Structure 1
Amino acid sequence: MIEFRPVTRNIGAEVSGVDLRGPLAEDEVARIRRGWLEYKVLFFRDQHITDEEHIRFAENFGTVNHPAFKKAGDGAVHVLDQTDPKGEGGDEWHSDSTFEPVPPMGSLLRCVRLPGVGGDTLWADAQLAYETLSPPVRRLCEELTAVHDITASMRKAIAKGHDFDLAEVQARWPPIERPVVRVHAETGRRALFVNRASTTRLVQLSDRENEALLPYLVDHIRSPEYQVRLTWRPGTLAFWDNRSTQHYAVADYTERRRMHRVTIDAFPEHRDA
């Protein structure tokens, strides 16, 4: 039987009683989905699966999304193979691809190879971060929208030696305005929806007001009580809800770390209004 063991009081659970190598029954999929919505990020240990099995598991929960910046031959699986991750973008608190018109609903990240030490990942509960703001600040945030822009992330990637045409990327994904508070399509809970990686300004506020409020909001989510930290092992798979979390990849290693990620979009019945 599938069981969930909470890792912290507020976010994250380890899952037992399931083998991801084979197809899952409908009741198993439903139970995992309920746990995913409750705990926001699930950890499956000792799942030494293939890319095909990884994709098949993901398809139970959404439509597989082809990565925005995939390498040739990656297909639906985005391979993250790094030895020098500092400044690559993952080492900032972020939700994935908030610069896209429809950001992905979730991601399933699987550990294939690890450095001798380091390379943990942290997730934070963006819903709890919103709910613990004072009522006046929550009301203000409900009235605001924010600009999300890929430019800063791309400039960092180019500086690290990645071969991107900045003008082409900017044309493909121009800045987009979205609510500061996101309402979850399945649970109705509200989440703080600004992040350090791509949120550039709060539209309705002056420059000076932005200087005060935006840094506060993006830093608020870093409170330890909102977080869970995963120390990976080969065969570990993490499945997180991109609508209710942010995450941070700790760039504290210089040996090879190889991860395989599958990203999913929501089924029509689970899309935000």
Structure 2
Amino acid sequence: MSAVLQALPSAVEVRPLSAHIGAEIHGVDLSRPLPPDQVAAIRAALLEWKVVFFRDQPLSHAQHVAFARQFGEPTIGHPVFGYEDNHPEIYSVGRNRKQVRFSGPALVRPWSGWHTDVTAAVNPPAASILRGVTIPPYSGDTQWTNLEVAYRELSAPLRGFVDGLRGLHRFAAPQGSTASSLFDDKVKRRPLLTEHPLVRVHPETGEKSLLVSPTFLQSIVGLAPRESQVLLELLFEHAIRPEFTVRFKWEPGSIAFWDNRATAHLAPQDIFATEFDRQLYRVTLGGVPPVGPDGRASVALEGDPITAARAEQD
């Protein structure tokens, strides 16, 4: 798409940020119900650009959830790690949430930390909506990558090979680190292990994308351990090539809304080199089990599907 600025219904403006992924949307007020043409315009921009951003939208928890409901059914905040009191749809993304789960120096590789949300479940969220509240003056940017472009940029023989493969996704401590008793207890209470296709077909657009979530994807079914390791490392490295990505600088009141079926993202690590606080909140929209090019859907090996927030019983 060559236009720098796209004019869409009801004064909605979509401003692309990179060649393959990411656009800012202006001209909407997310604190109120949106007219149908604005909902349609945002949905179209999301499918086109994979992640869309809004500025100056200081929403409450209730407004955040109400905005999300216009695009799908919110899930429970997190199927393993819970949700905010009195707001079952809201998951807290705070500065130190992972530091209380793991200890010790993890093995750091170029793809460390990149992930697609909750792929350990058989039905990962269709989309995620993250709201910035307490934002540091610098550091703390988030990055996303377009996994449809990553798939298309593989060589034809490799695309043909990965089209038929499947991988195992689970929650586990990063290699080299030790899980805390809190992490172990929560994972044991609600274990999740799923076999997903390595390539999924988008249920709305029909496009193929890599379903490679480095944080959760542990191995490839049917390959020898070394074969699995080498192929996964190649795919992880390829999926996060800089030209496939966009980087977003948060401000208070910023919203990021991404298609979890076609992206992976990276939470910032540089925040831990500062003393700044950072607090965001996430709502996820219910998804369906991914389906591969061969028509086979994902299979839950342990655990239940992610439920809608209103159906959750703790």
Q: Verify the 8 A CA contact 1:154 1:164 in the aligned structure 2.
A: no
Q: Structure 2 counterpart of 1:163, which letter?
A: L
Q: Verify the 8 A CA contact 2:21 2:146 in the aligned structure 1.
A: yes
Shift of the alpha carbon at 1:174?
Answer: 4.0
Separation in structure 1 between the aligned mates of residue 34 and residue 290 of structure 2, nearest angstrom: 23
Give the 3 Å change call, closer, same or farther, for CA 171–86 of structure 1 in structure 2: closer
Q: Verify the 8 A CA contact 1:123 1:247 in the aligned structure 2.
A: yes
Cross-structure match for 1:240: 258
Cross-structure match for 1:40: 50
Cross-structure match for 1:106: 127
- Deviations 1:166-189, CA, capped at 9 Å, x for gaps: 4x6246334211100011000001
Q: With CA pairs under 8 Å and 6+ residues apart, which has the higher RCO, 1 or 2?
A: 1
Q: TM-score, normalised by structure 2?
A: 0.79
Cross-structure match for 2:226: 208
Where 2:42 maps in the other structure, the secondary structure is helix
Separation in structure 1 between the aligned mates of residue 152 and residue 101 of structure 2, nearest angstrom: 31
Shift of the alpha carbon at 1:88?
Answer: 6.8
Q: Percent identity?
A: 38
Matches within 5 A, 1:52-71: 52-66=62-76, 67-68=78-79, 69-71=81-83
- More displaced 10-residue stretch of structure 1: 128-137 or 69-78: 69-78
Find the partner of 1:197 among 215, 223, 236: 215
Cross-structure match for 1:21: 31
Cross-structure match for 1:79: 92
2:14 maps to 1:4: yes
Q: Verify the 8 A CA contact 1:122 1:248 in the aligned structure 2.
A: yes
Q: Structure 1 counterpart of 2:67, which letter?
A: F
Aligned pairs, how many? 268
- More displaced 10-residue stretch of structure 1: 237-246 or 169-178: 169-178
Separation in structure 2 between the aligned mates of residue 32 and residue 92 of structure 1, nearest angstrom: 28
5+ residue gaps, structure 2: 1-10, 103-110, 292-296, 298-314
Q: Verify the 8 A CA contact 2:197 2:290 in the aligned structure 1.
A: no
5+ residue gaps, structure 1: none
2:33 maps to 1:30: no
Q: TM-score, normalised by structure 1?
A: 0.90
Give the 3 Å change call, closer, same or farther, for CA 238–91 of structure 1 in structure 2: farther
Give the 3 Å change call, closer, same or farther, for CA 146–231 of structure 1 in structure 2: same
Matches within 5 A, 1:122-161: 122-152=143-173, 158-159=179-180
After superposition, the CA RMSD in angstroms is: 2.5
Separation in structure 2 between the aligned mates of residue 169 and residue 87 of structure 1, nearest angstrom: 14
Separation in structure 1 between the aligned mates of residue 283 and residue 176 of structure 2, nearest angstrom: 25
Q: Verify the 8 A CA contact 2:83 2:89 in the aligned structure 1.
A: no
2:184 maps to 1:165: yes
Q: Structure 2 counterpart of 1:70, which letter?
A: G
Separation in structure 1 between the aligned mates of residue 16 and residue 131 of structure 2, nearest angstrom: 20
Q: Verify the 8 A CA contact 1:146 1:180 in the aligned structure 2.
A: yes
